[in-house]
Amino acid sequence: MEILVCVRRVPDTSENEIQLNSAGNDIERGDLVYSINEADNYAVEEALQIVAKAGGTVTVATVGAEDDEEVLRREMAMGANRGVLISDDAFNGSDGRGIATILNAFVETGHYDLILTGVQAEDGGAQVGGMLAALLDYPFASLVTSIEVLEDRKLKISREIEGGQKEINEIDLPCVLSIQTGINEPRYVGMRGIRQVAGVPIPTFHAKDLGIGPGAVGEAGAKVKRVDYFVPVLGKGAEILQGSREENIDRVLELLEAKGGLK
Amino acid sequence: MARIFAYIVHRAGVVDDSAYELAAAARQIDPAASLTAVLTGWGPDLDAACNAVRASYPEIWKIAHEALAYPNAELVRKALLQVLPGASIVLLAHDHLGIDLAPGLSIKMNAAFVSDVLSIARVEGDNLKVVRQEFGGQASTHVHCDARAGAVLTIRPGAFKPLANAAANGSVIDKSSDGILTAGRRYLETLVAETGDVDITRHSILVSIGRGIQEKDNVAIAQELADAVGAVVSCSRPVVDAKWMEKSRQVGSSGKTVKPKIYLACGISGAFQHLAGIKGSPFLIAINKNPKAPIFQVADVGIVDDILEFLPELTSKVREMQGAATR
């Protein structure tokens, strides 16, 4: 089974406090810790487990810039056979459709039985996998929480639906699946593993290598554009306790008692 | 403005709440636009669902086909593409079916796509300016969407308030056709949720933990507090993903819906999928290291602190009080 996993390097929101820049057109990126998008990492682990059972190779690709090579190397250290950087100035400002169009052109250069993405990245778009499948005319399933390889080029998959239920489907290969977090337990990657793949060349594909013309992708081809960032206001906001820890604990106890929480 | 269509989710003849929220979203985009509900399905269930949205939609398109009895996204897409006029605006709920269906639909319609829309900021001709969120709700953005060739938008459940006194009295139009519908993906069955040792939906106090608990061994810290205050421990998705707690303990749209009186959110950032599982307006106390965590926007009381230090001190203070009371 030849598997392609599309990944992305994102600011780690569990590690970072997101601040807006003064112009309001981006977040402050200077001090952010970047890592592989969490769901993408699960997707790579799933690909490695499938290949361990069914044979084949795992290719990890990202649409990005040189900085993004670090996540490709991390996933190669996990066991991916090949990392590919898809990069071109013409790709800047692409919307979801643009990214899917670029990936579609890359997929056409190879022969993949299965294409995996993470269910969503830091922008919460949850869109590229479904778009890529439609461009390729492959079947698609989102929110996938288990994969079993069947005979006759088919998979049995489960999807996460509401209330903890699982929807079981059969799907034909080749297909695109978007992988939900928690599907497996991604293996640990140590510094040593990353050092071992440090010298492995990562090929770069540019727009011309993929036959992507100007205007199809990038800002010119984008129907959807982010205008600005702003601080969200959802509710009235919590009363933030400003006391010392001890004072805050006393206040919480008072509140618990008042609300009937302490017998 | 183009025609607006809302794809309605229904189960066993009962329409999902999102049906009414989509109607409200459509009215925000353009109160004067022609608005149509589209429902796919089969049999009496489909007819019942079509009837149920007549108050909210002036026109209802019914697409009946045996293959659509269960909403398989690929089949639904094919059915929609047969009837939707070009350059339409299509609204869907940002739920598991919307995530499955909408991105591919936008490609096949050659239309713009924006997911998980929270509100409509402005409409100028065929340009929509909408609000969505990034970074797990830590930052909001305005997004411009060029809808000249149509647009597909998924709408966050709960973000739009259904219109009061809806009385559209819509008529149902049959748009079914007989052709054979096949897909590369076939629905087999639905497995019910796993039941665990503790039913978190039945407890009035929940000590709920998130990623901030950091490792499995620390779950005991929350358990000790829960024991002291007569609560049970629930959790958010990352805790289940990391296999620190059972799925049956998860609060959220893909987990359990809870209705406690008091909810202690400990190291939980407050992603909307998590908040969607908290009903009944409990008194919500949030403790989180990150002052920007979205949970503070919806909590009643917030404490910016490290739960790994705060919770054990809180527990020992509770025990101290209880010890004093029994003496």
pLDDT in tens, B200-253: 999 999 999 999 999 999 999 999 999 999 999 999 999 999 999 999 999 999
pLDDT band at A234 (very low <50, low <70, confident <90, very high): low
pLDDT at residue A235 greater than cutoff 70: no
Half-sphere exposure of B256 (CA within 13 A, CB side): 25
- B327 pLDDT higher than 70: no
Which pLDDT tens digit goes with each residue over B242-274? Answer: 999 999 999 999 999 999 999 999 999 999 899
CA angle B170, B174, B177 (to 5 degrees): 155
Reply yes or no on whether the pLDDT at B21 is more than 80: yes
Residue B309 has pLDDT above 80, yes or no: yes
CB contact under 8 A, B191 and A156: no
Structure-token pair, residue B73: 């996204």
CB distance B210 to B267 below 8 Å: yes
B313 contacts: CB under 8 Å, gap ≥ 6: A245, A246, A249
Class assignment of domain B200-326?
alpha beta
CA distance B51 to chain A (A): 24
Predicted structure pTM score: 0.94
What's the CA gap between B104 and A128, in Å, rounded? 9
| Helix residue ranges, H only, A152-224 | 191-196, 218-221
Cross-chain residue pair A139–B144, CB shorter than 8 Å:
no
pLDDT the model gives residue B32:
92
Per-residue pLDDT, A71: 96
For B250, the enclosing helix (H) or strand (E) is none
Contact B298, B275 (CB under 8 A): yes
Chain A positions in Cβ-Cβ contact with residue B107 (cut-off 8 Å): 97, 100, 130-131, 134-135
Q: Which residues contact B88 (CB under 8 A, 6 or more apart)?
A: B2, B3, B4, B5, B109, B111, B150
In a 13 Å sphere around the CA of A27, the CA atoms on its Cβ side amount to 22
What's the confidence (pLDDT) of residue A263?
Answer: 63
Burial of B176 (0-12, 13-18, 19+ CB in 10 A): middle
Percent of chain A whose predicted confidence (pLDDT) is above 70: 99
Give percent of chain A above pLDDT 90.
83
pLDDT, tens digit (0-9, with 9 covering 90-100), for A24-66:
888 998 888 999 999 999 999 999 999 999 999 999 999 999 9
- Please give the share of chain B, as a percent, with pLDDT higher than 70: 99
User: Is the complex ipTM more than 0.90?
Assistant: yes
Q: Do B143 and A175 touch (CB under 8 A)?
A: no
Is the model's pLDDT at A260 over the cut of 90?
no
C-beta separation of B254 from B234 below 8 A: no
A143, A171, A240: residue with CB nearest B304: A240
Across the interface, whether the CB atoms of B112 and A223 are under 8 A apart is answered: yes
Structure tokens at B186: 């076939």
Q: Which positions in chain B touch A226 (Cβ < 8 Å)?
A: 141-144
Does A236 have pLDDT greater than 80? no
Condensed to tens digits (0 to 9), the pLDDT of residues A77-93 reads 999 999 999 999 999 99
- Give B177→chain A minimum CA distance, Å: 23
Q: Give the pairing of strands A82-86 and A9-11.
A: unpaired
CA distance A108 to chain B (A): 17
* Region of B78 on the Ramachandran plot (φ > 0 left; ψ -120 to 50 alpha; else beta): alpha
Q: Where are the domains of chain B?
A: 4-174, 200-326
Model pLDDT, residue A23: 86
In this complex, the residue of B116, B292, B296 whose CB is nearest that of residue A237 is: B296
Residues of chain B with Cβ-Cβ distance to A163 below 8 Å are: 193, 254-257
For chain B, give the mean pLDDT.
95
> Over 90: is that where the pLDDT of A187 sits?
yes
Instruction: Give the architecture-level CATH label for domain B4-174.
Output: 3-Layer(aba) Sandwich (3.40)
Can you tell me the mean pLDDT for B145-153?
Answer: 97
At B261, phi and psi to the nearest 5? -85, -35
DSSP assignment string, B38-92: EEEE-HHHHHHHHHHTTTT-SEEEEEE-GGGSS--HHHHHHHHHHHPPTT-EEEE
- Select the residue from A249, A251, A255 to test the B interface by mutation, using most B Cβ atoms within 10 A: A249
Q: Give the CA distances from residue B283 to residues B59, B193, B216, B299, B312, in Å, rounded to whole numbers and listed in that order.
A: 41, 27, 27, 8, 21
What is the percentage of chain B residues whose pLDDT exceeds 90? 91
| Three-state secondary-structure class, residue B131 | strand
Lowest mean pLDDT among A32-36, A168-172, B41-45, B102-106: A32-36
Residue A201 predicted with pLDDT over 70: yes
**Is A94 within 8 Å of A132 (Cβ atoms)?**
no
Question: Which helix (H) or strand (E) is B280 found in, with range?
Answer: none
| Helix and strand totals (H; E) in chain B | 9, 18
Chain A residues touching residue B297 (CB < 8 angstroms): 232-235, 237-238
Q: How many whole angstroms separate alpha carbon B204 and alpha carbon B231?
A: 7
Q: Which of B94, B101, B59 is nearest to B78 (CA)?
A: B101
Q: What superfamily does domain A2-221 belong to in CATH?
A: HUPs (3.40.50.620)
Q: Which two tokens stand for residue B181?
A: 């519908």
**Stretch B272-289: mean pLDDT, rounded?**
95
Burial (CB < 10 A; 0-12, 13-18, 19+), residue B108, is middle
Q: Do A134 and B104 touch (CB under 8 A)?
A: yes
